Structure 1
Amino acid sequence: MLIKHAQILYDPIADKIASGNFGSVYRGYFTKENGEKIRAAIKVCHQEAGEKDDGGKAVAAKEAMMHEARLMAEYKFENVITFFGLACDHSPIVLVMEYCPGDSLENHLLADRGDTVIERVLYCYEAARGMRYLHIQGCIHSDFASRNCLISAEGIIKIADFGLSKFVDELNPQTAKLKIPIRWMAPECFGRKAQIIQKSDVWAYGVLIYEVFNKGGMPWPGDKDFKAMAKRIRHGNFFVGFVFYIAF
């Protein structure tokens, strides 16, 4: 859905939530066609392609934002973030999405607010529902983790951040350039014939369960020997340096 910059309102200083390689996210407002103003998350492209010679970074940023918008426009489901529209009537390119005031699941878990086992199981269940829906739609998320699950005002888990996602029919598994954080990568993501498939998301979901029941902690915390980690994953040797903080 194409919208206009005039429908978007945010303070670029006070409303900033986060920043990534290709864009920054702000909390703000979006005015619908009927005049209704709602809270929204505003993702703004860092640079507009063609502004300067930066080794292709501006072009990559623009392409990444357009790709993410195209994917998000396909999805309408309770456990997937809602996409309101793309503003490209002038630079910078802006994506407008549902705003989730509950923060990311990762930050919620790290805050250790005393969630019960039932609540943690519910987080996993809702994340699984979102993943199942995406897979039915033919999507491979490619970066499934607690940091990319947001919590709505109603406490519902919403899968977000489709920057690395692809449709199954547009992916060449033999030549895919993998950018997934290594701790969430499945065995098939390594090696000369590395591939990423929907089952790779299922593997990452298993790591998300680990996060949920370990207070947001990730596997092998503090370990920076990525080659060793990759070898453990490929050979199924998960208990070397594996830390458990079971949240019971």
Structure 2
Amino acid sequence: MEDSAVNTNQLDWQDAVTRLAGYGCSNVTSKLSWTSDGDKMVFAGFYNIQMGTLAGYTGSVAVKYSNSQLRNLETLINEVRIVSRLQHLNVISFLGFVLTEPRQDEEQDGVKRLQSIGLVSPWVELNLRQWMQSKENIDRCRMAVQVAEAIMYLHDAGVIHGDLRSRSIMISNEGAVQITGFGASVLEQDTPDKEKIFHVVPRWTAAERFYKESTWPTKQSDVWSLGMVILELFSNEVPYSGASELRAISLIGNGRIPDQPSTFISIKPGFRQILWGMLLSCWQRDPKDRPSANVVRDILRVVNREGTTIDESIHLATERI
């Protein structure tokens, strides 16, 4: 199959099924059973995620499907187009797709939603932000290394994520990072389309994607976002914490980067400036001046090996004084 960006102008359900099968994603509808636990359903913007089980698979699965009919189908197919090329411990994998009418009787804009296509993946309970909020004495530096290694792997495979943030990073039950959210991803070989509109989340998105003619993502814009995720990990705060979304956009447009935190959780004093200097390099205004994900990973490895403390509660207690 021609490996090109998805165009849904003429797309119908059968076209979508054909595209998914062409990317090696099989129809597992007959194997799926929905869970009876109504709490295991997440309403996430344009998509819903519901728990189920899959015959022949050990453990629960997540089914991500569009909460409208053909709307957003393009991004679901694009996720499979991208992920089908990847195989890495720190990147989500798909178990197949389903054609389904979920249990809940839903409406979208007053119209009852009919059949939907859902992507099936292993169920993971917490994203990175939730994980940071619910756990104590977590190994933040190890997580940062894993995120950087995953982005390095994507870039080496010719994949640009385009929407890296804490909510697109899941943490498995084994404590491993899993990068998700490939709906806005592109391949390095894709021809940039100036007409294509990407939904961006201000706090993590590179400055040039706001003020340039095209919002097309690049490896360099991924590195900017990687820096924001690392900042969030070690400060326990979202980037531009305390500012509204509109204020954050204004700050980014005016060339402002986040303020340096008073401390970096679990990092020895002598290594905090090393870490901050690395983050500043990730946020260079000129994308060409930013380091590669490989360089970021290498610096984090050194910090992880030599510059971490055991008990993060020391830092959190200091912040409260």
> What corresponds to 1:10 in structure 2?
34
81-90 vs 63-72, which moves further: 81-90
Cα distance in 2 for partners of 1:18, 1:36 equals 22
> What corresponds to 2:13 in structure 1?
none
Cα distance in 1 for partners of 2:176, 2:229 equals 16
Q: Residues 225, 30 of structure 1: CA spacing in aligned structure 2 closer, same or farther, 3 A cutoff?
A: closer
**Of 203, 206, 209, the match for 2:224:** 203
1-10 vs 231-240, which moves further: 231-240
Superposition map of 1:16-165 within 5 A: 16-31=40-55, 35-48=56-69, 59-88=70-99, 91-101=115-125, 103-115=126-138, 119-165=139-185
- Per the TM alignment, residue 120 of structure 1 is displaced from its structure 2 partner at its CA by 0.9
- Per the TM alignment, residue 98 of structure 1 is displaced from its structure 2 partner at its CA by 1.9
Contact residue 47 and residue 64 of structure 2 kept, 8 A: yes
Q: CA RMSD in A?
A: 2.5
Contact residue 27 and residue 96 of structure 2 kept, 8 A: yes
> What corresponds to 2:14 in structure 1?
none
**Of 226, 231, 237, the match for 2:256:** 237
Cα distance in 2 for partners of 1:235, 1:155 equals 38
TM-score normalized with structure 2 length: 0.64
> What corresponds to 1:51 in structure 2?
none
- Do residues 189 (structure 1) and 209 (structure 2) align? yes
- Per the TM alignment, residue 3 of structure 1 is displaced from its structure 2 partner at its CA by 1.8
Contact residue 100 and residue 152 of structure 1 kept, 8 A: yes
Equivalent residue of 2:71, what SS? helix
Superposition map of 1:169-184 within 5 A: 169-172=189-192, 174-184=194-204
Contact residue 79 and residue 159 of structure 1 kept, 8 A: yes
Structure 1 unaligned regions, length at least 5: 49-58
Equivalent residue of 1:213, what SS? helix
Q: Residues 82, 239 of structure 1: CA spacing in aligned structure 2 closer, same or farther, 3 A cutoff?
A: closer
Cα distance in 1 for partners of 2:85, 2:95 equals 11
TM-score normalized with structure 1 length: 0.81
Cα distance in 1 for partners of 2:190, 2:262 equals 38
Q: Deviations over 1:114-172 (max 9, x none)?
A: 32xxx111000001111111112221111111211111121111101112212222251
Cα distance in 2 for partners of 1:170, 1:12 equals 42
Q: Deviations over 1:40-95 (max 9, x none)?
A: 111122233xxxxxxxxxx2222222222222222211000111112248832110
- Amino acid across the alignment from 2:264: I
Cα distance in 2 for partners of 1:72, 1:221 equals 32
Contact residue 78 and residue 184 of structure 2 kept, 8 A: no
Q: Percent of counterpart pairs with the same letter?
A: 24
The aligned length equals 228
> What corresponds to 2:21 in structure 1?
none
Equivalent residue of 2:65, what SS? strand
Name the structure where helix makes up a greater proportion of residues.
2
- Amino acid across the alignment from 2:133: L
**Greater Rg by CA:** 2
Contact residue 69 and residue 86 of structure 1 kept, 8 A: no
Cα distance in 1 for partners of 2:159, 2:262 equals 31
Structure 1's consecutive aligned runs of 4 or more residues displaced over 6 angstroms after TM superposition are none
